[in-house]
A = this chain, B = another copy of it.
Amino acid sequence: MTRWEPGAAERLQEAALDLFATRGFEQTTATEIAQAVGLTERTFFRHFSDKREVLFHGQHLFTQAFLDGVQAAPPDASPMEIVASALRSATSSFPDERRPHSRSRQAVIDQNPALQERERHKLASLAAAIADALRARGVDDLAATLAAESGVTVFKVAFIRWLREDERRSLTDLAEDVLRELLALARDPS
């Protein structure tokens, strides 16, 4: 019989981040993560397929937040306006309280090439999903690809800024600024 562990995934994630940060990602095992919060290795693997997965849990919700924003844009919105709507939707799921958690997570990723690879893969899949959603709205193939890639670039750049120690603006405001800068660059003939 499987015992229900309330909040087990979240507790495992927090414990994993602590251990990865203090001991290193490579040096930490799934068993140790589970034991740190009084759970078993079996419980760990009920929630995550591997140790790496702990850091990328919720990818589906992350992508969905962008797609919800694509849906929410008015019918006559331009591709870049749809992308702006997707960014507002996705960034609103990163409230400022989450900043310390996101910082710890990013510090672990920045120290491990395999995790960076996973991060790049995640962002590539996200761009493909947004492009599909734009095409489904009738945006032409090339415009959909370029708008989606630009949206992911904006998210990526805004996210790095949001994690800076001295940064106080919200991720939503930062993404808006970065998108505005991208549009200004494209509009500047010289």
Contacts and interface: CB of A to CB of B under 8 A. Distances in A.
A125 to B, nearest CB: 11
Interface stretch (A3-11, A34-42, A100-108, A180-188): A180-188
Contacts of A186: 80, 150, 182-183, 185-187
Given A142-B178, A146-B153, A157-B146, A187 B185 contact: no
A81 interface: yes
A54 interface: no
A120 interface: yes
A188 to B, nearest CB: 5
A189 B81 CA distance: 8
Nearest to A124: B120
Contact of A150 (B77, B79, B117, B153): B153
A162 to B, nearest CB: 13
Contact of A120 (B117, B147, B154): B117
A93 interface: no
Interface in A116-144: 117, 120-121, 124, 142-143
A145 interface: yes
Interface of A: 76-81, 117, 120-121, 124, 142-143, 145-147, 149-150, 153-154, 156-157, 178, 181-183, 185-190
What are the 3 tightest A-B residue pairs by CB atom distance, in nearest-first order?
A: A186-B186, A149-B153, A120-B120
Given A78-B189, A80-B185, A146-B182, 6 more contacts: A79-B185, A81-B189, A142-B157, A149-B153, A149-B156, A153-B153
